[in-house]
Amino acid sequence: MTQSDLLHERDHKAFTTDLRTLAALALVPAIGLGIARFSYALLLPSMSLGLGWSYADAGWMTSVNAAGYLIAALISARFIGVVGANSVMRTGIFACVIALIMMGLFHHTVWLNVSWFLAGLGGASAFVAGGVIAAQVSQRHPAKAAFLLGIFYAGSGLGIVLSGVGVPWVLSQGGVTAWPTAWLVLAAISVVLALGVIWGVRITPQRRPQAHVSAPLGSMWWMLVGYSCFGAGYITYMTFMIAWIQAHGESAAFQSLFWVVLGLAVAVFPWLWAGVLKNQRHGRAFAILNGVTLVGAVLPLISSAWPVLLASAAIFGCAFFGVVASTTAFVRRNCGASAWASGIGAMTVAFSIGQTLGPTLGGWLNDLSGGLSVGLLTSAAFLIAAAIIGLLQKDFGLTSMASRDL
């Protein structure tokens, strides 16, 4: 065997090992986002009916969760610098599991808000830390970095699919009052996924990253503002879409199908958008993917026919996590490795601000109008703003000039 063959074999083994690590890392957003965030939309109608909530009350729960995201995003980078990304990630996952158990045990609105706040706190911590590890692993394979990074974000699709199958099944067996049982089932699923993370993420590039360096936030200003608008737009759709479908007379089986289609679309987005993430500079990938997400968000306003609704789920699902991936790719392209935690954390802060404001605003407008269409229009307006603002962002620094893989 020649030296070239030996090097090729070594590179292949390294790539396979890192691919397995990223597959395990993908279970982090499956828990922290797919289950401990998005599954609320499936349970919102039953919880609202049982607890007597208004649309604003229901939106406030999502805002509370996003507030937990915001706080975690503000402090995660510092904690990663002290104890390491892997420790922060595992602690965040544990917090998500505890929060899901609490959601099933408590029935008072105050305690449910506390539980969902904890889910946001844990989810953001795990997501930021997992994103740092994923960025470090993908950096080893520059030619495939965009695809590898996408695998991490695609994990949310698995959580969405599992929620879309599990929650409607529990509700069909026990009725609308069975929502506490559904939360406990989701907690059990999350425990299994958490064990997969612990088993699979054994080797990280660095247990402790380089000394904390702040990302140049002034140079990222347009991306941060646009990402906040995106956060407000996408989460309003995700919060109220199942309730909108139910209000239009669709069955529980169709609601489950809609959610599963959305989750499957999330899972395949790395294959669809790897070229865009790799080839588009500045904020163009962010803008393009916001535009595609917008198309998915407005389709239900055009028609409530089931083929249109499923197309909405597929288009929205395949694009909205591409937006998230585009921001991490932007940070990785423009910042040194020591500033990735700070940059990803700043993006998550901007994202969380939008997520905190959007659902409550959308719910309040829905209450004023007596329906859910105004909330979806609000979602579309925020996504339009995000796409336009993204076009104003330019790359900066030596990293962006030297990188050819993103």
pLDDT score of 11: 60
CB 72 within 8 A of CB 121: yes
List of residues 6+ apart from 396 with CB closer than 8 A: 216, 219, 334
Q: What is the CATH number of the domain that holds 360?
A: 1.20.1250.20
Residue 109 in domain: yes
The phi-psi region of residue 370 (left if phi > 0; otherwise alpha if psi is between -120 and 50; otherwise beta) is left
The span from the CA of 11 to the CA of 9, in Å, is: 5
Are the beta carbons of 98 and 114 closer than 8 angstroms? no
Written as six digits, the tokens of 275 are: 């070229």
Task: Please count the structural domains in the chain.
Answer: 1
CB–CB of 171/246 below 8 Å? no
pLDDT at residue 400, rounded to an integer: 47
- Residue 207 pLDDT: 45
Q: How far apart are CA 80 and CA 76, in angstroms?
A: 6
Q: Buried b / exposed e across 274-299, counting CB within 10 Å, b at 16+?
A: bebbbebebbbbbbbbbbbbbebbbb
Inside any domain, residue 380: yes
Instruction: Provide the pLDDT for residue 203.
Output: 56
The confidence score (pLDDT) of residue 302 equals 92
130 within some domain? yes
pLDDT digits (tens, 9 = 90+) for 331-368: 888 887 778 778 877 887 888 889 888 888 888 888 88
Number of alpha carbons in the 13 Å side-chain half-sphere of residue 78: 5
Q: What is the pLDDT of residues 112-141, one digit of tens each?
A: 999 999 999 999 899 889 988 888 888 787
Task: Please tell me the predicted confidence (pLDDT) of residue 208.
Answer: 47
- Is 7 contained in some domain? no
DSSP codes joined into one string, 147-207: HHHHHHHHHHHHHHHHHHHHHHHHHHHH-GGGHHHHHHHHHHHHHHHHHHHHHH----S-S
**Residue 3 domain-assigned (yes or no):** no
3-class secondary-structure state, position 8: helix
Tokens of 330: 């932007």
Report if residue 47 sits inside a domain.
Answer: yes
**Would you write out the chain's pLDDT as a tens digit for each of its 406 residues?**
565 555 555 665 777 788 888 889 999 999 999 999 889 989 988 999 889 988 888 888 988 998 898 888 788 878 888 888 889 999 999 999 999 999 999 989 999 999 999 999 999 899 889 988 888 888 787 777 777 877 887 888 899 999 999 998 898 888 888 999 999 999 999 999 999 999 888 754 444 444 557 777 788 889 999 999 999 999 889 888 988 898 888 888 898 899 999 999 988 877 788 778 777 888 899 999 999 999 999 999 999 899 999 999 999 998 988 898 889 888 888 887 778 778 877 887 888 889 888 888 888 888 888 878 888 899 999 999 999 999 999 988 544 444 433 3
Residue 382 belongs to domain spanning: 12-402
Question: For residue 344, what pLDDT is reported?
Answer: 78
Does 345 map to a domain? yes
Residue 285: the pLDDT is: 92
Please give the full DSSP string across 71-132, using - where no structure is assigned: HHHHHHHHHHHHH-HHHHHHHHHHHHHHHHHHHHH--SHHHHHHHHHHHHHHHHHHHHHHHH
CB-facing half-sphere around the CA of 207: CA atoms within 13 A? 3
In a domain? residue 2: no
- pLDDT score of 27: 95
Q: Are 343 and 331 a contacting pair, CB within 8 Å? A: yes
| Integer angstrom CA distances of residue 192 from 1, 27, 195 | 43, 10, 5
